[in-house]
Amino acid sequence: MKTFLSSRARRLKPSATLAIAALEKEMRGRGIDVVGFGAGEPDFPTPSHIRDAAKRSLDRGETFYTPVGGTPDLKKAVAHRVREDYGLDYKAEEILVSCGAKHCLSNVFQAVLDPGDEAIVLAPYWVSYPEMIELADAVPIIVPTREEDLWVPDPKAVEARITPRTKVILVNSPSNPTGVLYPPEVMAELARIAEKHDLLVISDEIYDKLTYDGGKFTPFAALPGMKDRTILINGVSKSYAMTGFRIGYLASTRTDIVKAATNIQSQSTSNPSSTAQAAAVEALTGPQDEVARMVEVFERRRNLMVEEISKIEGLSMVKPGGAFYAFVNTSKLYRSGKVSNSADLARYLLEKRHVACVPGGPFGSEDHVRLSFATGEETIIKGLERLREVCQELL
Protein backbone atom coordinates (compact mmCIF):
# COMPACT_ATOMS: atom_id res chain seq x y z
CA MET A 1 0.00 0.00 0.00
CA LYS A 2 1.31 3.48 -0.87
CA THR A 3 2.21 5.91 1.89
CA PHE A 4 -0.41 8.47 2.73
CA LEU A 5 1.87 10.71 4.77
CA SER A 6 2.62 14.14 3.36
CA SER A 7 6.22 15.10 2.68
CA ARG A 8 6.06 17.71 5.44
CA ALA A 9 4.90 15.10 7.95
CA ARG A 10 7.73 12.79 6.94
CA ARG A 11 10.27 15.62 7.36
CA LEU A 12 8.99 16.74 10.75
CA LYS A 13 10.96 15.69 13.82
CA PRO A 14 9.26 15.36 17.23
CA SER A 15 10.09 17.86 19.96
CA ALA A 16 13.17 16.61 21.80
CA THR A 17 12.21 18.42 24.99
CA LEU A 18 8.71 16.94 25.12
CA ALA A 19 10.04 13.46 24.28
CA ILE A 20 12.47 13.58 27.21
CA ALA A 21 9.72 14.83 29.54
CA ALA A 22 7.43 11.97 28.49
CA LEU A 23 10.14 9.35 29.02
CA GLU A 24 11.02 10.84 32.40
CA LYS A 25 7.38 10.62 33.54
CA GLU A 26 7.09 7.07 32.23
CA MET A 27 10.18 5.97 34.21
CA ARG A 28 8.89 7.67 37.36
CA GLY A 29 5.64 5.82 36.86
CA ARG A 30 7.64 2.59 37.12
CA GLY A 31 9.05 3.71 40.45
CA ILE A 32 12.49 4.78 39.17
CA ASP A 33 14.17 7.66 41.02
CA VAL A 34 14.78 9.98 38.06
CA VAL A 35 16.42 13.37 38.52
CA GLY A 36 14.74 15.61 35.97
CA PHE A 37 16.76 18.38 34.35
CA GLY A 38 14.63 18.32 31.21
CA ALA A 39 11.63 20.40 32.20
CA GLY A 40 11.07 23.71 30.46
CA GLU A 41 8.61 24.85 33.08
CA PRO A 42 8.75 26.34 36.59
CA ASP A 43 8.32 23.86 39.41
CA PHE A 44 6.28 26.38 41.43
CA PRO A 45 2.52 26.04 41.78
CA THR A 46 0.48 28.56 39.83
CA PRO A 47 -0.13 31.44 42.28
CA SER A 48 -3.36 31.00 44.24
CA HIS A 49 -4.96 34.27 43.11
CA ILE A 50 -4.62 33.11 39.50
CA ARG A 51 -6.13 29.69 40.25
CA ASP A 52 -8.95 31.39 42.13
CA ALA A 53 -9.71 33.53 39.09
CA ALA A 54 -10.04 30.37 36.98
CA LYS A 55 -12.42 28.88 39.55
CA ARG A 56 -14.56 32.04 39.62
CA SER A 57 -14.80 31.94 35.85
CA LEU A 58 -16.02 28.36 35.98
CA ASP A 59 -18.53 29.23 38.70
CA ARG A 60 -19.87 32.02 36.48
CA GLY A 61 -20.48 29.45 33.77
CA GLU A 62 -17.91 30.91 31.36
CA THR A 63 -17.33 27.62 29.57
CA PHE A 64 -18.25 28.51 25.99
CA TYR A 65 -16.55 29.84 22.88
CA THR A 66 -14.87 33.22 23.11
CA PRO A 67 -13.82 35.45 20.22
CA VAL A 68 -11.17 33.60 18.21
CA GLY A 69 -8.38 36.04 19.03
CA GLY A 70 -9.08 36.29 22.76
CA THR A 71 -11.57 37.90 25.09
CA PRO A 72 -11.74 41.71 25.24
CA ASP A 73 -10.72 41.52 28.90
CA LEU A 74 -7.60 39.53 28.13
CA LYS A 75 -6.58 41.79 25.26
CA LYS A 76 -6.92 44.75 27.64
CA ALA A 77 -4.83 42.85 30.20
CA VAL A 78 -2.09 42.16 27.64
CA ALA A 79 -2.05 45.82 26.62
CA HIS A 80 -1.91 46.83 30.30
CA ARG A 81 1.02 44.55 31.10
CA VAL A 82 3.10 45.58 28.08
CA ARG A 83 2.41 49.26 28.74
CA GLU A 84 3.20 48.97 32.46
CA ASP A 85 6.39 47.00 31.93
CA TYR A 86 7.81 48.57 28.79
CA GLY A 87 5.85 51.69 27.89
CA LEU A 88 4.52 50.16 24.66
CA ASP A 89 0.94 50.85 23.62
CA TYR A 90 -1.11 48.34 21.60
CA LYS A 91 -4.78 48.39 20.62
CA ALA A 92 -7.10 45.38 20.81
CA GLU A 93 -6.88 44.80 17.05
CA GLU A 94 -3.09 44.66 17.36
CA ILE A 95 -3.19 41.70 19.77
CA LEU A 96 -3.86 37.99 19.22
CA VAL A 97 -4.23 35.49 22.06
CA SER A 98 -3.35 31.89 21.17
CA CYS A 99 -2.85 28.48 22.79
CA GLY A 100 0.62 29.30 24.08
CA ALA A 101 3.49 31.34 22.67
CA LYS A 102 4.41 28.36 20.48
CA HIS A 103 0.99 28.62 18.83
CA CYS A 104 1.54 32.35 18.26
CA LEU A 105 4.84 31.62 16.53
CA SER A 106 3.27 28.94 14.35
CA ASN A 107 0.42 31.26 13.36
CA VAL A 108 2.85 34.05 12.44
CA PHE A 109 5.14 31.83 10.39
CA GLN A 110 2.11 30.58 8.45
CA ALA A 111 0.90 34.16 8.01
CA VAL A 112 4.11 35.75 6.71
CA LEU A 113 6.23 33.05 5.05
CA ASP A 114 5.80 31.79 1.49
CA PRO A 115 7.52 28.74 0.00
CA GLY A 116 11.20 29.52 -0.47
CA ASP A 117 11.25 32.52 1.87
CA GLU A 118 14.15 32.59 4.30
CA ALA A 119 14.05 33.21 8.05
CA ILE A 120 17.25 33.85 9.98
CA VAL A 121 17.57 31.75 13.16
CA LEU A 122 20.41 32.26 15.62
CA ALA A 123 21.94 29.03 16.93
CA PRO A 124 21.74 27.54 19.47
CA TYR A 125 17.99 27.89 19.03
CA TRP A 126 14.80 26.61 20.59
CA VAL A 127 14.13 23.22 19.03
CA SER A 128 10.83 24.17 17.37
CA TYR A 129 11.95 27.25 15.41
CA PRO A 130 13.41 25.49 12.34
CA GLU A 131 10.64 22.90 12.28
CA MET A 132 7.87 25.50 12.34
CA ILE A 133 9.57 27.50 9.60
CA GLU A 134 9.86 24.38 7.43
CA LEU A 135 6.20 23.56 8.08
CA ALA A 136 5.48 26.90 6.40
CA ASP A 137 7.54 25.60 3.41
CA ALA A 138 10.14 28.28 4.12
CA VAL A 139 13.87 27.89 4.77
CA PRO A 140 15.52 28.41 8.17
CA ILE A 141 18.90 30.06 7.72
CA ILE A 142 20.99 29.08 10.72
CA VAL A 143 23.55 31.63 11.91
CA PRO A 144 25.78 30.13 14.65
CA THR A 145 26.83 32.02 17.73
CA ARG A 146 29.98 31.03 19.62
CA GLU A 147 30.45 29.92 23.19
CA GLU A 148 33.68 31.94 23.41
CA ASP A 149 31.57 35.02 22.60
CA LEU A 150 29.21 34.12 25.47
CA TRP A 151 26.60 33.12 22.86
CA VAL A 152 26.14 36.76 21.87
CA PRO A 153 25.38 36.95 18.12
CA ASP A 154 27.71 38.69 15.70
CA PRO A 155 25.60 41.16 13.69
CA LYS A 156 28.11 41.00 10.82
CA ALA A 157 27.57 37.24 10.57
CA VAL A 158 23.81 37.81 10.53
CA GLU A 159 24.01 40.42 7.78
CA ALA A 160 26.28 38.19 5.71
CA ARG A 161 23.53 35.55 5.48
CA ILE A 162 20.85 37.91 4.17
CA THR A 163 19.70 37.28 0.60
CA PRO A 164 16.86 38.65 -1.56
CA ARG A 165 14.70 35.81 -0.17
CA THR A 166 15.23 36.78 3.48
CA LYS A 167 12.00 38.00 5.08
CA VAL A 168 12.38 37.43 8.82
CA ILE A 169 14.93 37.65 11.63
CA LEU A 170 13.95 35.59 14.67
CA VAL A 171 15.20 36.95 18.00
CA ASN A 172 14.99 35.11 21.34
CA SER A 173 16.42 36.99 24.32
CA PRO A 174 16.74 35.75 27.02
CA SER A 175 17.48 32.63 25.04
CA ASN A 176 16.40 29.05 25.30
CA PRO A 177 18.73 27.10 25.59
CA THR A 178 21.73 29.33 26.39
CA GLY A 179 20.12 31.90 28.70
CA VAL A 180 21.99 34.72 26.94
CA LEU A 181 20.51 38.20 27.36
CA TYR A 182 21.52 40.19 24.29
CA PRO A 183 23.49 43.38 25.08
CA PRO A 184 21.85 46.68 24.06
CA GLU A 185 24.48 47.39 21.41
CA VAL A 186 23.82 44.04 19.71
CA MET A 187 20.07 44.63 19.78
CA ALA A 188 20.67 48.04 18.20
CA GLU A 189 22.77 46.48 15.43
CA LEU A 190 20.13 43.84 14.71
CA ALA A 191 17.57 46.64 14.51
CA ARG A 192 19.80 48.51 12.04
CA ILE A 193 20.08 45.38 9.90
CA ALA A 194 16.32 44.84 9.93
CA GLU A 195 15.75 48.44 8.87
CA LYS A 196 18.43 48.39 6.17
CA HIS A 197 17.17 45.18 4.56
CA ASP A 198 13.44 45.77 5.20
CA LEU A 199 13.01 42.65 7.35
CA LEU A 200 10.33 41.62 9.81
CA VAL A 201 11.56 40.84 13.33
CA ILE A 202 9.78 38.10 15.26
CA SER A 203 10.85 38.57 18.87
CA ASP A 204 10.19 35.64 21.22
CA GLU A 205 10.20 37.27 24.67
CA ILE A 206 8.69 34.47 26.74
CA TYR A 207 11.54 34.70 29.32
CA ASP A 208 11.45 38.50 29.59
CA LYS A 209 10.91 38.57 33.36
CA LEU A 210 13.43 35.84 34.17
CA THR A 211 16.68 37.83 34.18
CA TYR A 212 19.50 37.79 36.76
CA ASP A 213 22.37 39.89 38.10
CA GLY A 214 20.36 43.05 37.54
CA GLY A 215 20.23 42.41 33.79
CA LYS A 216 17.73 44.67 32.06
CA PHE A 217 15.44 43.25 29.39
CA THR A 218 14.44 45.50 26.49
CA PRO A 219 11.67 44.37 24.13
CA PHE A 220 12.70 44.61 20.51
CA ALA A 221 9.69 46.77 19.69
CA ALA A 222 10.96 49.42 22.14
CA LEU A 223 14.11 50.01 20.07
CA PRO A 224 14.03 53.17 17.93
CA GLY A 225 11.98 52.61 14.76
CA MET A 226 11.27 48.95 15.52
CA LYS A 227 7.69 48.94 16.83
CA ASP A 228 6.18 48.84 13.32
CA ARG A 229 8.64 46.15 12.24
CA THR A 230 8.34 43.77 15.20
CA ILE A 231 5.98 40.94 16.10
CA LEU A 232 6.21 40.68 19.89
CA ILE A 233 5.62 37.14 21.18
CA ASN A 234 5.03 36.40 24.85
CA GLY A 235 2.76 34.50 27.22
CA VAL A 236 2.02 33.56 30.81
CA SER A 237 3.62 30.09 30.90
CA LYS A 238 7.09 30.81 32.24
CA SER A 239 6.73 33.99 34.31
CA TYR A 240 3.53 32.94 36.09
CA ALA A 241 4.06 29.14 36.30
CA MET A 242 1.07 28.55 34.00
CA THR A 243 2.49 26.18 31.38
CA GLY A 244 -0.58 23.94 31.36
CA PHE A 245 -2.97 26.85 30.84
CA ARG A 246 -1.62 27.32 27.29
CA ILE A 247 -2.01 31.06 26.89
CA GLY A 248 0.34 33.07 24.70
CA TYR A 249 -0.07 36.33 22.87
CA LEU A 250 1.40 38.40 20.08
CA ALA A 251 1.30 42.15 19.63
CA SER A 252 2.08 44.16 16.53
CA THR A 253 1.05 47.38 14.83
CA ARG A 254 1.00 45.35 11.60
CA THR A 255 -2.73 44.68 11.78
CA ASP A 256 -2.63 42.90 8.42
CA ILE A 257 -0.38 40.24 9.97
CA VAL A 258 -2.40 40.07 13.19
CA LYS A 259 -5.61 39.63 11.18
CA ALA A 260 -4.05 36.95 8.98
CA ALA A 261 -2.74 35.05 12.01
CA THR A 262 -6.18 35.32 13.63
CA ASN A 263 -7.81 33.93 10.48
CA ILE A 264 -5.38 31.01 10.49
CA GLN A 265 -6.21 30.35 14.12
CA SER A 266 -9.93 30.51 13.33
CA GLN A 267 -9.50 27.63 10.87
CA SER A 268 -7.32 25.51 13.15
CA THR A 269 -7.82 25.71 16.91
CA SER A 270 -10.31 28.58 17.24
CA ASN A 271 -10.11 30.32 20.63
CA PRO A 272 -7.93 29.29 23.60
CA SER A 273 -9.67 27.90 26.67
CA SER A 274 -12.11 30.38 28.18
CA THR A 275 -11.11 29.37 31.72
CA ALA A 276 -7.41 29.78 30.97
CA GLN A 277 -8.05 33.23 29.52
CA ALA A 278 -9.79 34.32 32.72
CA ALA A 279 -6.81 33.09 34.72
CA ALA A 280 -4.42 34.96 32.41
CA VAL A 281 -6.31 38.23 32.99
CA GLU A 282 -5.59 37.88 36.70
CA ALA A 283 -1.96 36.94 36.05
CA LEU A 284 -1.33 40.03 33.95
CA THR A 285 -3.30 42.56 35.98
CA GLY A 286 -3.08 41.16 39.51
CA PRO A 287 -0.20 41.20 42.03
CA GLN A 288 3.22 40.64 40.49
CA ASP A 289 5.13 39.82 43.69
CA GLU A 290 5.11 36.05 43.01
CA VAL A 291 7.06 36.67 39.80
CA ALA A 292 9.79 38.50 41.71
CA ARG A 293 9.93 35.69 44.26
CA MET A 294 10.37 33.05 41.55
CA VAL A 295 13.14 35.05 39.91
CA GLU A 296 14.98 35.30 43.24
CA VAL A 297 14.80 31.52 43.70
CA PHE A 298 15.81 30.81 40.10
CA GLU A 299 18.85 33.08 40.45
CA ARG A 300 19.94 31.23 43.58
CA ARG A 301 19.55 27.89 41.78
CA ARG A 302 21.43 29.25 38.77
CA ASN A 303 24.32 30.24 40.97
CA LEU A 304 24.36 26.80 42.58
CA MET A 305 24.37 25.01 39.24
CA VAL A 306 27.13 27.20 37.81
CA GLU A 307 29.28 26.70 40.92
CA GLU A 308 28.84 22.93 41.02
CA ILE A 309 29.36 22.37 37.30
CA SER A 310 32.62 24.36 37.49
CA LYS A 311 33.89 21.66 39.88
CA ILE A 312 33.15 18.74 37.53
CA GLU A 313 36.06 17.73 35.32
CA GLY A 314 35.06 17.54 31.67
CA LEU A 315 32.24 20.08 31.82
CA SER A 316 32.05 23.82 31.22
CA MET A 317 29.33 26.38 30.60
CA VAL A 318 28.59 30.06 30.10
CA LYS A 319 26.77 31.61 33.04
CA PRO A 320 23.22 32.30 31.83
CA GLY A 321 21.84 35.80 32.27
CA GLY A 322 18.22 34.74 31.99
CA ALA A 323 15.68 31.93 31.51
CA PHE A 324 16.27 28.77 33.62
CA TYR A 325 18.66 26.63 31.63
CA ALA A 326 22.33 25.70 31.78
CA PHE A 327 23.73 24.85 28.34
CA VAL A 328 26.63 22.63 29.36
CA ASN A 329 29.58 21.82 27.11
CA THR A 330 30.08 18.05 27.21
CA SER A 331 32.34 17.63 24.18
CA LYS A 332 35.28 16.28 26.24
CA LEU A 333 33.15 13.29 27.21
CA TYR A 334 32.97 12.10 23.60
CA ARG A 335 36.71 11.49 23.25
CA SER A 336 36.63 8.06 24.87
CA GLY A 337 34.25 6.77 22.22
CA LYS A 338 31.76 5.45 24.79
CA VAL A 339 29.35 8.15 23.69
CA SER A 340 29.74 10.10 20.47
CA ASN A 341 27.20 12.91 20.60
CA SER A 342 24.67 14.68 22.79
CA ALA A 343 21.89 12.17 22.11
CA ASP A 344 24.16 9.28 23.14
CA LEU A 345 25.11 11.11 26.32
CA ALA A 346 21.49 11.96 27.20
CA ARG A 347 20.54 8.31 26.70
CA TYR A 348 23.53 7.13 28.79
CA LEU A 349 22.64 9.52 31.61
CA LEU A 350 19.03 8.40 31.68
CA GLU A 351 19.71 4.67 31.45
CA LYS A 352 22.82 4.42 33.65
CA ARG A 353 22.26 7.16 36.24
CA HIS A 354 18.58 8.07 35.83
CA VAL A 355 19.31 11.71 35.03
CA ALA A 356 17.05 13.34 32.43
CA CYS A 357 18.51 16.14 30.33
CA VAL A 358 17.90 17.32 26.78
CA PRO A 359 20.54 16.68 24.10
CA GLY A 360 21.97 19.77 22.45
CA GLY A 361 21.74 18.46 18.89
CA PRO A 362 18.11 19.54 18.38
CA PHE A 363 19.13 23.00 19.67
CA GLY A 364 21.87 23.21 17.05
CA SER A 365 24.92 22.05 19.04
CA GLU A 366 26.04 18.46 19.51
CA ASP A 367 28.71 19.66 21.95
CA HIS A 368 26.15 20.48 24.63
CA VAL A 369 23.26 19.25 26.74
CA ARG A 370 20.61 21.44 28.32
CA LEU A 371 19.98 21.18 32.06
CA SER A 372 16.99 23.01 33.53
CA PHE A 373 17.40 24.52 36.97
CA ALA A 374 13.63 24.85 37.36
CA THR A 375 13.86 22.29 40.14
CA GLY A 376 14.79 22.25 43.83
CA GLU A 377 18.30 22.76 45.15
CA GLU A 378 18.48 19.27 46.66
CA THR A 379 17.52 17.81 43.30
CA ILE A 380 20.17 19.90 41.55
CA ILE A 381 22.87 18.67 43.95
CA LYS A 382 21.78 15.04 43.63
CA GLY A 383 21.57 15.20 39.85
CA LEU A 384 24.94 16.89 39.44
CA GLU A 385 26.56 14.29 41.69
CA ARG A 386 25.25 11.60 39.36
CA LEU A 387 26.51 13.61 36.41
CA ARG A 388 29.94 13.81 38.07
CA GLU A 389 30.01 10.00 38.29
CA VAL A 390 29.19 9.73 34.59
CA CYS A 391 31.99 12.15 33.72
CA GLN A 392 34.45 10.03 35.67
CA GLU A 393 33.30 6.97 33.73
CA LEU A 394 33.57 8.64 30.32
CA LEU A 395 36.77 10.68 30.62
- Cα separation, 365 vs 306, in Å, equals 20
Pairing of the two strands 139-144 and 200-204:
unpaired
Choose the final residue of a domain: 285, 310, 337.
285
Pair 200, 347 in one domain? no
Name the pLDDT band for 32 (thresholds 50, 70, 90). Answer: confident
Question: Which pLDDT belongs to residue 176?
Answer: 97
Pair 198, 323 in one domain? no
Pair 192, 309 in one domain? no
Pair 182, 307 in one domain? no
Pair 332, 267 in one domain? no
Pair 170, 201 in one domain? yes
Q: Give the tens place of pLDDT for each residue, 274-304.
A: 999 999 999 999 999 999 999 999 999 999 9
Pair 334, 225 in one domain? no
Residue 316 lies in a domain: yes
Instruction: Give the total number of structural domains in the chain.
Output: 2
Choose the final residue of a domain: 285, 312, 341.
285
How far separated are the first and last CA of the chain, in Å rounded? 49
Pair 227, 196 in one domain? yes
Q: Can you tell me the mean pLDDT for 187-209?
A: 98
Pair 180, 112 in one domain? yes
Residue 367 lies in a domain: yes
Question: Which pLDDT belongs to residue 21?
Answer: 73
Choose the final residue of a domain: 268, 285, 302.
285
Pair 232, 200 in one domain? yes
Q: Give the tens place of pLDDT for each residue, 217-271.
A: 999 999 999 999 999 999 999 999 999 999 999 999 999 999 999 999 999 999 9
Question: In the Cβ-directed half-sphere of 165, how many Cα atoms lie within 13 Å?
Answer: 13
Q: Which domain holds residue 302?
A: 7-45+289-394
Q: Give the tens place of pLDDT for each residue, 36-77.
A: 898 889 999 999 999 999 999 999 999 999 999 999 999 999
> Exposed, middle or buried by CB within 10 Å (0-12, 13-18, 19+), for 219?
buried
- Contact indicator for 262, 68 with CB cutoff of 8 Å: yes
Question: Which pLDDT belongs to residue 7?
Answer: 85
